[in-house]
């Protein structure tokens, strides 16, 4: 079972890796412009694996910011991963071991989270591991290439390749929205609110990660109150 789930994760992780390769190529170019070597930039991609967080870190480094400043910027930029981690902790089966949770916690990001949370049943940790094994090298490799060879690819081509990630998100959202009107409503509401916050002067200046946190907390709370999920009682009459 674990081997089959791991292989399934490998297959699912291929389009994620290809999208990462394109997106992180641009990240590598940014890292080089901010004074990082290819080795340094690649290590950040292996250890951090968060596009917005890495862009923010590179910007602070280029501005000669201190360690504390970098830590604060990273905490704010990547705060949305706390919500994702909480959701994944509920998605894992009770049999999941501590090391399973620690490995998953090392690489929580938008795309892999989206595929993991879309599982109808409990999340098999090895399915997640399979996606990680393919996706993480793609992100690191793209960063290395972008930092070492620079603008060898046209900017339009790099941008076009990254469309694969958006296509993957649509593949996750559309089937669930077609089956459940509540999910459809939440998706449409989140899109509308996200657009509104991006143009509203009061929120336009905050980071996209912070806007995601606000939207997620508010809309999920409203949906939970209005449309609670009734869990079936277990065999012990709980």
Q: 18 falls in which pLDDT band (50, 70, 90)?
A: confident
pLDDT for 161 equals 59
How confident is the model over 199-233, as pLDDT tens digits? Answer: 888 777 776 667 777 787 888 888 888 888 665 44
Token reading at 210 = 């912070």
Share of the chain above pLDDT 70, in %: 85
| pLDDT at residue 92 tops 80 | yes
Token reading at 189 = 């509401």
Q: 101 falls in which pLDDT band (50, 70, 90)?
A: very high
pTM (2 decimals)? Answer: 0.71
Q: Are 134 and 14 in contact (CB under 8 A)?
A: yes
Give the side-chain half-sphere CA count within 13 A for 129: 16
Q: 162 falls in which pLDDT band (50, 70, 90)?
A: low
pLDDT higher at 169 or 86: 86
Residue 44's CB is within 10 A of a number of other CB atoms, namely 21
Average pLDDT for residues 131-141, to the nearest whole number? 93
List C-alpha distances in Å: 47 to 51, 208, 220, 234: 12, 22, 30, 40
Q: Are 120 and 3 in contact (CB under 8 A)?
A: no
How confident is the model over 163-185, as pLDDT tens digits? Answer: 655 665 676 677 777 878 888 88
Q: Are 142 and 23 in contact (CB under 8 A)?
A: yes
pLDDT higher at 77 or 137: 137
DSSP H helical ranges for 180-207: 181-199, 201-204
pLDDT for 236 equals 41
Residue 198's CB is within 10 A of a number of other CB atoms, namely 12
pLDDT for 85 equals 92
**Per-residue exposure over 216-227, b if at least 16 CB sit within 10 Å of its own CB, e if not:** eeebeeebeeee
pLDDT for 226 equals 86
pLDDT for 103 equals 95
pLDDT for 96 equals 93
Average pLDDT for residues 21-33, to the nearest whole number? 83
pLDDT for 99 equals 96
pLDDT for 198 equals 80
pLDDT for 105 equals 92
């Amino acid at each position: 079972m674990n081997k089959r789930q791991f292989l399934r994760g490998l297959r699912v992780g291929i389009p994620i890796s290809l999208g990462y390769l394109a997106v992180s190529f641009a990240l590598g170019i940014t890292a080089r412009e901010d004074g990082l070597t290819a080795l340094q930039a690649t290590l950040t991609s292996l250890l951090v694996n968060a596009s917005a967080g890495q862009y923010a870190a590179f910007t602070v480094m280029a501005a000669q910011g201190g360690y504390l400043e970098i830590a604060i910027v990273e905490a704010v930029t990547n705060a949305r991963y706390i919500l994702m981690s909480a959701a994944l902790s509920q998605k894992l089966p009770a049999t999941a071991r501590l090391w399973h949770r620690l490995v998953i916690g090392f690489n929580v990001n938008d795309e892999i989270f989206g595929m993991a949370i879309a599982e109808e049943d409990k999340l098999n940790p090895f399915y997640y591991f399979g996606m990680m094994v393919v996706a993480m090298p793609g992100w690191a490799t793209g960063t290395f290439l972008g930092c070492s060879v620079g603008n060898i690819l046209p900017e339009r081509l790099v941008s076009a390749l990254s469309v694969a990630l958006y296509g993957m998100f649509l593949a996750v959202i559309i089937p669930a929205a077609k089956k459940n009107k509540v999910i459809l409503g939440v998706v449409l509401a989140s899109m509308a609110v996200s657009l509104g916050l991006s143009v509203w002067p009061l929120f336009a200046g905050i980071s996209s990660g912070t806007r995601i946190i606000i939207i997620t907390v508010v809309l999920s709370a409203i949906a939970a109150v209005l449309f609670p999920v009734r869990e079936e009682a277990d065999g012990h009459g709980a």
